[in-house]
Amino acid sequence: MDLRNGIWFHSTDRELIDPAKSLVTSLFRLSSSIYLEKPKLHRKPRLRLAVYSRTLVRWLFKQKLNFGTQRWTVPKLSKNLFCPYIAGLFDAEGQVVLAPSGRLSKLVLHSANGSSLRIIEHRLGEFGVECLLRTRNRERKPSVHYQLEIRKSQNLKCFIGPIARHSRLTRKKQYLTEDLISKKVAEACRYNSPRFSMRPPTKANLKN
């Protein structure tokens, strides 16, 4: 995001790009363009949503919002808006981890921006949700990697419904079902947790 180029949003998932384009039109009444980028190396092609508006960039800077891999900032939102915000982060940088039994074990948010994840950890704590922020040093990568983990049934039940309702990625959303949490937790969050007819997916693993 800058005054010269406007705002660019990159993703390899069309399910994220198309809704983002519609939201830009409905919220800001701005036109935008989608481009296909093919990297030189053997990597998956990605889509770029470009919004060429200096006025929008100035407004976002005024709101003290910033974007980028390491310098994105966290907006201060009420709980009913913060859950959709977390769902958007989950679609972009989230991971579902299942226990050996096939039950939901934890939700993880990945980022190179540790300071923003710490802010999210603090905000979630204000809502009564305990999180665990981990730091990882990866081989052949000089930068430090951070991951924010949401564990335990009491924490998961508070977010399994809101995240599923606002998540747009089918390949991730299919994990966020009552079938993958314990019966006790499913009953506790039945008031806000949608049902899906999809079969439970295979296990996903994460090394701590």
Annotated domain spans of the chain: 7-62, 79-188
pLDDT of 208 over the 60 cut: no
pLDDT score recorded for residue 78:
81
Overall average pLDDT of the 35-57 stretch: 88
pLDDT score recorded for residue 70:
65
pLDDT score recorded for residue 33:
94
Specify whether the CB–CB gap between 91 and 47 falls below 8 A.
no
Fold of 79-188: Endonuclease I-creI (3.10.28)
Instruction: Tell me the residue type at 76.
Output: K
pLDDT score recorded for residue 103:
85
Q: Which of 152, 111, 147, 110 is nearest to 130 (CA)?
A: 152
Q: Coil, helix or strand for 146?
A: strand
Overall average pLDDT of the 179-205 stretch: 41
Confidence of residue 63 (pLDDT cuts 50, 70, 90): confident
In percent, how much of the chain has pLDDT > 70? Answer: 84
Mean of the per-residue pLDDT values for the chain? 79
Overall average pLDDT of the 171-194 stretch: 59
pLDDT score recorded for residue 171:
85
Q: In the chain, how long is the greatest CA-to-CA distance? A: 53
pLDDT of 104 over the 80 cut: yes
Q: Is 103 exposed, middle or buried (0-12, 13-18, 19+ CB in 10 A)?
A: middle
pLDDT of 124 over the 60 cut: yes
Q: Coil, helix or strand for 198?
A: coil
pLDDT score recorded for residue 69:
64
Determine the number of helices (DSSP H) and then strands (DSSP E) in the chain.
7, 7
Question: Could you tell me the two tokens for 41?
Answer: 């190396």
The C-alpha atoms of residue 203 and residue 102 are separated, in whole angstroms, by: 6
- What would the pLDDT profile of 66-103 be if each residue is shown by its tens digit? 776 667 888 888 878 888 888 888 998 899 998 888 88
The C-alpha atoms of residue 166 and residue 88 are separated, in whole angstroms, by: 8
Confidence of residue 119 (pLDDT cuts 50, 70, 90): very high
- What would the pLDDT profile of 153-166 be if each residue is shown by its tens digit? 778 877 777 777 88
Confidence of residue 182 (pLDDT cuts 50, 70, 90): low
